[in-house]
Amino acid sequence: MSVLIGEKEYFKGINKIKFEGLESENPLAFRWYDENKIVAGKPMKEWLKFAGAYWHSFCGTGADPFGAPTHLFEWDQKTDAVERAKDKADAAFEFFTKLGLHYYCFHDVDAVDYTNDIVENERRLAAITDYLKKKQDASGVQLLWGTANLFSNAKYMNGASTNPDFTVLTHAAAQVKSAIDATIKLGGTGYTFWGGREGYMSLLNTNIKREKEHLATFLKVSRDYARANGFKGSFYIEPKPCEPSKHQYDYDAETVIGFLRQFDLLNDFKLNLEVNHATLAGHTMQHEMQIAADAGLLGSMDANRGDMQNGWDTDQFPNNINELTECMLIFIEAGGLNPGGINFDAKIRRNSTDPADLFYAHIGGMDAFARALIAADQILQKSDYKKIRANRYASYDAGHGKNFENGKLSLTQLRDIAAQSAEPEVISGKQEFLENLINRFI
């Protein structure tokens, strides 16, 4: 991938980031992520389809409820919205190509600023996607997934497709329709629904049953529209338990799978799991990934990490190799993400204000994933990890255990087997042994 610089160079002094290996002391080089290195039968770049998130990296100004913007973007200057958006696209593609990211993700309003005029928004999105298409063709960078922001505008304060006011739902539909058009036009491999406002703040004013039915019908018409217009990719639901809603309907992987099953959406929808959302739901990311993988719904991933002391979505860059190695065990055993990738839904801190900080953040995240992928592959190949897990269930592999698994034993028969057998042995779960394996291979 060659570097694509637009009219102006935004990240001056930073060249193409290269793999330099463990000996390198260059902070602007990869030490582990070697995109063509073969791991478990595939090049790293195929396992780890990293994507840049437009919203955090090119729109997030660092403003917080207590303070003003600290990231003052040079590409955010022009008065005409589409011209301003083109500068932003230039900056984004310069960044993607210098870093070697093969994918990106965006919300409609990240690509170009929206107004409250639907027709004007459609015009703007069509214009900027013409430009993005050219940038994609010139660089080879692809759209991992598109989405519509149905949470920032004031009209969504009571929800988008779960809003008690039907008019708001229609406005959400207008946005989703254009965002799907944009995704199809740009060859996106997925389309994501994250419902930050699809939930409630108070049960006192909420009819959950009707709201969830509206959400399901909304997803169905969106799917039907996309399929009728040639979209072959996957739809994703991105679970999150809360924030900004007190309770979000797409709480966690299990909840979403139940919802998809209830409303017969399992054929078209998979999960886009996010690390910090898993921890907010009181789970590990490993848990969420295993639940999704077991259901055949491990679609895509939003990579980030939370803060151990803060109870919100801090969206920090991933750097926990132990956690990632455990995730990669599930990931490799599931055959990777299908058809998604690893979107850095993470933001540099408000006081990380050097242009290079965005590079350090992504390099660190990519290296952490690469190191975890290698470690997990070694664990699977060279250790007793798989054997120990399989052996724990050996009593179901033959005899009565097997008959039970096949549904051939009644409760009374199970009782009789118990009465004839000795007291169960004490069998170790070997947790610490397994934890040590992870550290040994990192």
Question: Is 165 a known active-site residue?
Answer: no
Pairing of strands 247-248, 199-200: antiparallel
34, 90, 108, 110: the active-site residue: 110
Q: Which is nearer to ligand XLS, 42 or 350 (CB)?
A: 350
Question: Which of Ni ion, ligand XLS, none lies near 181, with the C-beta cut-off 5 to 8 A by kind?
Answer: none
Cβ(369)–Cβ(35) below 8 Å: no
Q: Which does 441 bind (CB under 5 to 8 A by kind): Ni ion, ligand XLS, none?
A: none
Q: From residue 62, how far is each of 55, 56, 398 by CA, in Å?
A: 11, 9, 59
Nearer to Ni ion by C-beta: 53 or 82? 53
**Between 276 and 378, CB nearer to Ni ion:** 276
CB of 279 to Ni ion, least distance (A): 11
Given the complex with ligand XLS, which of 136 and 304 has the nearer CB atom?
304
The residues that touch ligand XLS, with contacts defined as CB under 6 A, are: 107, 147, 192, 194, 196, 238, 240, 274, 302, 313, 345
Residue (of 179, 180, 182, 156) closest to 169 by Cα position: 156
Binds 147: which of ligand XLS, Ni ion, none (CB < 5-8 Å by kind): ligand XLS
Q: What does 135 interact with, of ligand XLS, Ni ion, none (CB < 5 to 8 A by kind)?
A: none
Q: Contact at 8 Å (CB) between 160 and 195?
A: yes
Token output for 140: 């080879």
Smallest distance, ligand XLS to C-beta of residue 290, A: 20
Known active-site residue 252: no
Residue of 56, 102, 107, 277 marked catalytic: 107
Task: Please say which residue, 191 or 441, places its beta carbon nearer to ligand XLS.
Answer: 191
Binds 326: which of Ni ion, ligand XLS, none (CB < 5-8 Å by kind)? none
DSSP letters along 375-441, please?
A: HHHHHHHHSSHHHHHHHHTGGGSSHHHHHHHTT---HHHHHHHHHHSPPPPP----HHHHHHHHHHH
DSSP letters spanning 151-199: SSSGGGTT-STT-SSHHHHHHHHHHHHHHHHHHHHTT-SEEEE--TTSE
Least distance CB 240 / ligand XLS (angstroms)? 6
Structure tokens at 87: 């500068």
- Local structure of 278: helix, strand or coil: helix
Residue 39 bridge partners (DSSP)? 42
Task: Kindly list the catalytic residues.
Answer: 107, 110
